[in-house]
Structure 1
Amino acid sequence: MGQALCICSRGSITIDDKRYYFIQKLDEGGFSYVDLVEGAQDGRFYALKRILCHDREGKKEAQTEVEMHRLFKHPNILALTGHAFMERGGKSEAWLLLPYVRKGSLWSVLEKLRDQGSSMPEARILHVFRGICEGLKAVHDRGYAHRDLKPTNVLMDEEDRPVLMDLGSMNKARIEVRGTKEAMTVQDWAAQRCTISYRAPELFNVESHCIIDERTDIWSLGCVLYSMMVLEGPFDMVFQKGDSVALAVQNPVNIPQPCSYSQGLQNLLSSIMVPNPQERPDINWVLDQVQSLQSSTPARC
């Protein structure tokens, strides 16, 4: 475990005997804050994620997030530079030091395109989507699932390479549900940790005897692909209007027409976003389809 010192008057912190200077706030969530910091020794920028741990369970979840980062060394999964747990004023915080990706999230890229009245070329969609799939395959190959895949949890580096982030909802890919009590536990957990408009259908009403597996990520992956094609998630408007997302996800997704993308890409999306998880493909099949589409699509600009 890393060692941390308090934030001092000069606006700096120390993690693992290395000093970092606070620059500015980047983001803020329900239980975490992200600050931009600069390394005193190397002059590089980093993102410091501070997770508020309100109880023992919160601290355990933060530790799990650290362990998930440590588990993967993959170009499409965000690396962990350092970490520390500290107590301040009777409260516990987990500090995760992460690489700073200047370009921001995939969602910010899509918002910019939408504001410009533009769209993402199919070749670029396939390039980005393949990188997301490669990262997700690494997760699934180790027996885990991300559980909260969405455009805001995909960072885009300067080379247009997608990097999966926010590993706090990750857990074992296979969850065996035995009884109503366990089903409600999983359902309540999903309601807290899996973003509603990207949540797989089987997580809204968990059956009392079933197996939840990594194909929840495949559904979310389809939502991400849809967002790159349409510049909004397939159920974003349903949620914003206050309608039932749980009901909407039970039906096949409709691709707005006319659609400027190839029939092959549309078919891929339809094949991924299948409400019944037993009929949903795995990540290897998805990757094979993406590679096939790439071989028949002109190189991106």
Structure 2
Amino acid sequence: EAWLLLPYVKGGTLWSEVEALREKGAFMPEQRILLILRGICCGLQAIHSKGYAHRDLKPTNVLLDEDDRPVLMDLGSMNRARIEVTSSREAMAVQDWAAQRCTISYRAPELFTVPSQCVIDERTDIWSLGCVLYCMMFGEGPFDAVFQKGDSVALAVQNPITIPPTSRYSAALHRLLSSMMVVNPQERPSIEDVLQQLEGLQAAPPGQATTQI
């Protein structure tokens, strides 16, 4: 018999925080978004550096402690980051796996229709990270409404992301969001690139980065 001791993270999930703000008609301040985003990025960097990808990053899979330090959870979908697809059978197997294990409204475009000759890598997480950032900025994921209406998320993710005209955030944050949500995974930044962009937006307070997963 084995026991696993886990820390108690009393802040709840990032999604519960987003919901609470939305119910009050409030918006998350940009500096708080950057603080949380940087912590998530550090956690992803730890995963990617070992050759793995999370594959199901979303606000309900991010816990926040009392200092807004994020902890990545639910690693049941994590697998090797690099997946080489060399046949239609392998492509269908990856596609079916993603349909079961990767939340549809946060799933990267390349996982909806997998080509018979391709390489899937950790940049699926960068797309999902962009969806999480969008959710912190605007109170819901970019494709949540599409899914709730019963429309095709697979088609919706093939179009460039639209920034709401009422956005109160900086142009630099908009650019960061857009860079992560490029349909072609080869054009998306790595997690190191995202962290480098964040350095220009915010100097991280000491002790606030996290590699907790």
State the TM-score, normalized to the length of structure 2. 0.94
Q: Which runs of 4+ in 1 moved over 6 A?
A: none
Partner amino acid for 2:132? V
Match of 2:71 among 144, 150, 163: 163
Match of 2:32 among 120, 124, 128: 124
Q: Quick one: distance in 1 between partners of 2:22 and 2:145? A: 15
- In structure 2, what is the equivalent of residue 151 of structure 1? 59
- In structure 2, what is the equivalent of residue 137 of structure 1? 45
Percent of residue pairs bearing the same amino acid type: 71
Q: Quick one: distance in 1 between partners of 2:37 and 2:141? A: 15
Partner amino acid for 1:181? R
| Residue 98 (structure 1) shift | 2.7
Gaps of 5+ in 2: 204-213
Q: Quick one: distance in 2 between partners of 1:239 and 1:255? A: 18
- In structure 2, what is the equivalent of residue 222 of structure 1? 130
Partner amino acid for 2:38? R
Q: Quick one: distance in 2 between partners of 1:117 and 1:176? A: 45
| Residue 99 (structure 1) shift | 2.2
Match of 2:188 among 246, 257, 280: 280
- In structure 1, what is the equivalent of residue 207 of structure 2? none
> Which structure has the bigger radius of gyration?
1
Q: Quick one: distance in 2 between partners of 1:124 and 1:276? A: 29
CA RMSD of aligned residues (A): 1.1
User: Within 5 A, what are the aligned runs for 1:22-33?
Assistant: none
State the TM-score, normalized to the length of structure 1. 0.67
Question: How many equivalent residue pairs?
Answer: 204
Post-superposition Cα deviations, 1:142-182, rounded to whole Å, max 9, x if no partner, equal 10000000000000011110000000100000000010000
**Which protein has the bigger helix share?**
2
Gaps of 5+ in 1: 4-14, 17-81, 83-96, 296-301
User: Within 5 A, what are the aligned runs for 1:1-301?
Assistant: 3=1, 15-16=2-3, 82=4, 97-295=5-203
**Which protein has the bigger strand share?**
1
Post-superposition Cα deviations, 1:187-229, rounded to whole Å, max 9, x if no partner, equal 0000000000000000000000100000000000000000000
